[in-house]
Amino acid sequence: MTTGRIAGARRPAWAWALALVAVAAAASPLIAYWLTNPDDQRLVDLDVYRTGGWALLRGLPVYDVITPAPQLLPFTYPPVAAMLAVPLAAMSWPVAQWVWTIAVVAVLAVTVRHAFRAFLDGVRGALAAPALFAVLCAACMYLMPIRDQVRFGQVDLFLLALCLLDCVARRPWWPRGVLIGLATAVKLTPGVFLVYLAVTAFAPSDAGPGRSGTAPSGPRQRHGDTAQHHGDTAQRHGSTGQRHGSTGQRRGDAVQRHGDAAQRRALFMAVFTAAVLTLLPFLVITDDARDFWFRALLDSERLGANAATTNQSLRGMLLRLYLPDALTSAVWLAAVTAVGWYGFRQARRAHLDGDTMTAVALTGLMAVLLSPVAWIHHIAWIVVVVAAVAGSGRDPVRLLVAAAVWLYYVLPIPWWGVSIKALEIPILSPVAGKIVQNAFGLGAIGLIWLLGSWLPRRRAAVTTAAAVPAAKA
C-alpha cells in the first residue's frame, strides 16, 4: 500500500517549483503595495532593527538611538538582537527591504509546509500536494497578522518558524531546544515555549484512558489524523494494532510517571542557548546590555501606546476599559493566571495525546495573550492555529471551522470597532464598539477553548464513529 508520505516523496520537483512560483505571484500584489508606499512609512520595524545594528557599528548607545522622523521609534529588543541586525545595517536601505521581504515570504512557505504537514501528506496525486501548498500559502499570506509582517517588516514570523521547527521537525540536524532558545534571546515572548517544555517535561499528567473521552497516548494516538486515514489498514492488521496500542499505553504511563526525557533535553538546550545569548552581550557590549535589562525593558511605553487598538493582549484589552491603574493591574494578573493555567494545561494534554501541532498553537496563543503588549502582527500564530484545526483535512467539520477562523483573521475587524466608536451612538458605540475593537484578542481566547476543549472531543467523536463499522465487521 502506498501511504501519503511515500506518495509525497515521489511528487516531481517541477511541481513544487511551480507551486513556489504561484506563491510568489500571490504575494506580489502585497509586496508591490507596501514597497511602493511613502519611504517614511515603509517597513518601519525593519528600520528599527537596522537602527540597532547601525548604532553598534557607530559605537552609539543602542537604546538612545531612534529612527528618522516621522516615526522616531526606539530599538526595543534585547542587545543580542542588535548584534544580529548588524548585517542589515551594512546593506543599503533598498537592498535590505527586498532581502527582508523575500525572506518573510520564504519563511511563511516553510511555516506552512510544516504546520500543514498532515494535510499535505494526506492528499493523493502527483500535483495535489504542491497545488494545495500553493493555495495554503496564498491564503495565509492574506491573513491580517501576516499582511502586517510585510507591511512593517516584522521579525515575528521568523521567531514563529524557529519555535515551530524546534517542536515538529521530524529529523532535526540541530539539538532540539536550540531554536527556541535563540528565539527567546531575540525577543523574550517566545519564552512561553520554555514554560511549555517545562510542563511537558516534568509536570505530572492527569491524562489517562478515561479522561475527557480521549484515547491513551501512544503511536496510534500520536498520529490520530493519520490513523483515521488508514482505518482500513488498521482493521486488516487488528492484532498488530492491538499490540502497538499496548506498547503505546505502556509508554504513555511511563511518560505520566517519569516525564518526557526528550522534552527535558530540549528544555535544557533552550535554557542554555537563551542564557548564553543573553550573557554574551554583557561581554561584548556591556553598557548596552546593562541599559536594556535595567532600564529600557522596564519602560513598556517604549513599545508604543499600550492602549492602542493594535495591542490585542489581555492587558491591552483591559487598558482600553480605562479603569483605575491598580484595578487594571489586579484584573490583568488574575486573567493572566487563569488563561495561562488553562492554556498550558491544555498544551500539555495535547502533547501527551501526541497532537504536537495543537500544543504549539496553544503555546503560541499564550505568547499573544499573556504578553503585556501584543500587536496584531504578533498573532502570526494564527497560521499554526488554522493548521491544527484543519488536521489531516479528512474531517469536513474541522475544515469548515478552520476556514471560519481563517476568514475571521483576514478581515480587519478591530478597526470596525474603532469606526463604530467614532459614530458616537449612545450605548452601541461605547459597548459594541469596544467589543469589536478587541475582536482579535477575544478571538484568541476563544481559540484556546476551541483547541483545548472542542478539538479533542471532535477528534474522539470521529474516531469512535470510524471504529463502529470496524467493530461490526
Q: pLDDT tens, 291-336?
A: 999 999 988 777 778 999 999 999 999 999 999 999 999 999 999 9
pLDDT score recorded for residue 472: 63
Cell matching residue 156: 515575528
Average of pLDDT values for 101-125? 95
Q: Which residues are within 8 A (CB) of 406 and not within 5 positions of it... i.e. 6 or more apart?
A: 139, 143, 382, 386
pLDDT score recorded for residue 65: 93
Is 163 in a helix, a strand, or coil?
helix
pLDDT score recorded for residue 301: 74
Omega of the bond leading into 324 within 30 degrees of 0 (cis): no
Residue 241 has pLDDT above 50, yes or no: no
pLDDT over 90, % of the chain = 75
212 phi-psi bin (left φ>0, alpha ψ -120 to 50, beta other): left
pLDDT score recorded for residue 131: 95
Residue 144 has pLDDT above 60, yes or no: yes
Average of pLDDT values for 178-196? 97
CA distance 230 to 438: 42
Average of pLDDT values for 372-384? 96
Q: How far apart are the first and last CA of the chain?
A: 21
Confidence of residue 245 (pLDDT cuts 50, 70, 90): very low
Burial letters for 261-278: b for 16+ Cβ neighbours within 10 Å, e otherwise? eebbebbbbbbebbeebb
Confidence of residue 227 (pLDDT cuts 50, 70, 90): very low
In which element (H, E) is residue 389 found? helix 382-390
pLDDT score recorded for residue 202: 85
Omega of the bond leading into 70 within 30 degrees of 0 (cis): yes
In which element (H, E) is residue 277 found? helix 261-284
pLDDT score recorded for residue 215: 35
pLDDT score recorded for residue 253: 52
Confidence of residue 470 (pLDDT cuts 50, 70, 90): low
